Amino acid sequence: MKINFLKKISILSFVVTLLFSCASNKDILYLQGTPQNAAVASTYDPVLQPADELMIVISAENPELAVPYNLNSVSIETNSGLQSDQSGILTYLISKDGTVDMPMLGSVKLAGLTRMEAIQKINGLLVNHIKNPTVNLRLLNFKVSVIGEVAKPGTLIVQNERVTILEALSFAGDLTIYGKRNSIMVIREVNGVKTINTIDLTSSDLINSPYYFLAQNDVVYVEPNKTKVNSSVIGPNIAVVLSSVSLLIAILAITIN
């Protein structure tokens, strides 16, 4: 009778533990409640910032007219704001005051402008010197880092200057089962000021978040959920936990006797 009573306690404890450990779909599924035909703006133009590395190439109907306005091997000797990327192409580095020093045009402030706005500004400076100029500007240091509870933490180099939070997480192998999906941190620096923002992957409003599209140098941090936090405590102390459980069972058995 006493043994049966202890068995019932053990079974009841197991069932209760199992019930409380079951995860709900609300904790796991992304974009819950999203309408079937939901739409999101697909255009995104990054805002240039100090320390951004740019490739700027100017061309014209008469190629010879554009040559003095482009970087060359002589320019790098006189302009400390220039550097060379891995392919050997000379590039501009936006200074702390937000400017780049361009041949013939001098100091041009580009920080705070989108890529298209920067192209339009440079084009406006050229129209009085070159007929029908064309400006090709690329942001070369667009990268985001994903850390925390993901399968493959690391830094992603973005070639097309456009990446969403979901794309970045997919490149990182998606969240582990221990990742907190309703509180993803996005650490972003704007004008020298770092901000920490949270987004909810389980919410249908995710696609309307200002952090759905990531900016260059964003850091995405996936926090561990309670299960992971609790396991980190129980793991090193499993012997203590088992001893405590054994002692509790022994006390219960003595009490019943």
Q: Residue 119 sits in a domain of what CATH number?
A: 3.30.1950.10
CATH number for position 154: 3.10.560.10
Whether 95 maps to a domain, the answer reads yes
Q: Does 131 share its domain with 148?
A: no
Q: Is the pLDDT of residue 230 over 70?
A: yes
* Structural domain span for residue 12: 2-23+230-256
Q: Does 123 share its domain with 183?
A: no
Residues 63-101: tens digit of each pLDDT: 999 999 999 744 444 444 555 554 457 899 999 999 999
Q: Out of 110, 139, 168, pick the residue that ends a domain.
A: 139
Whether 68 maps to a domain, the answer reads yes
Q: Does 153 share its domain with 127?
A: no
Q: Is the pLDDT of residue 6 over 50?
A: yes
Q: Are 82 and 92 in contact (CB under 8 A)?
A: yes
Confidence of residue 46 (pLDDT cuts 50, 70, 90): confident
Tokens of 2: 């006493």
**Cα–Cα distances in angstroms (integers) from residue 145 to residues 38, 55, 155, 246, in the given order:** 28, 22, 4, 46
Q: Is the pLDDT of residue 26 over 50?
A: yes
Whether 170 maps to a domain, the answer reads yes
Q: Does 70 share its domain with 135?
A: yes
For the segment 146-164, the average pLDDT, to the nearest whole number, is 93
Whether 92 maps to a domain, the answer reads yes
Q: Is the pLDDT of residue 137 over 90?
A: yes
Residues near 24 by beta carbon (within 8 Å), at least 6 away in sequence: none
Q: What is the pLDDT of residue 72?
A: 78
Q: Does 194 share its domain with 130?
A: no
Q: Out of 92, 115, 139, pick the residue that ends a domain.
A: 139
Q: Does 99 share its domain with 116?
A: yes
Q: Out of 139, 159, 185, pick the residue that ends a domain.
A: 139
Domain total of the chain: 3
CA distance 81 to 87: 18
| Chain centroid, CA 233 distance in Å | 29
**Cα–Cα distances in angstroms (integers) from residue 249 to residues 3, 130, 209, in the given order:** 12, 89, 52
**Cα–Cα distances in angstroms (integers) from residue 105 to residues 19, 92, 127, in the given order:** 70, 14, 12
Q: In this structure, which long-range contacts are made by residues 194-203, counting pairs with CB atoms below 8 Å and at least 24 apart in sequence?
A: 199/165, 201/30, 201/31, 201/165, 201/166, 201/175, 202/26, 202/27, 202/28, 202/29, 202/30, 202/31, 202/32, 203/31, 203/32, 203/33
Q: Are 91 and 54 in contact (CB under 8 A)?
A: yes
Whether 182 maps to a domain, the answer reads yes
pTM listed for this prediction: 0.70
Q: Are 84 and 91 in contact (CB under 8 A)?
A: yes
Q: Does 126 share its domain with 171?
A: no
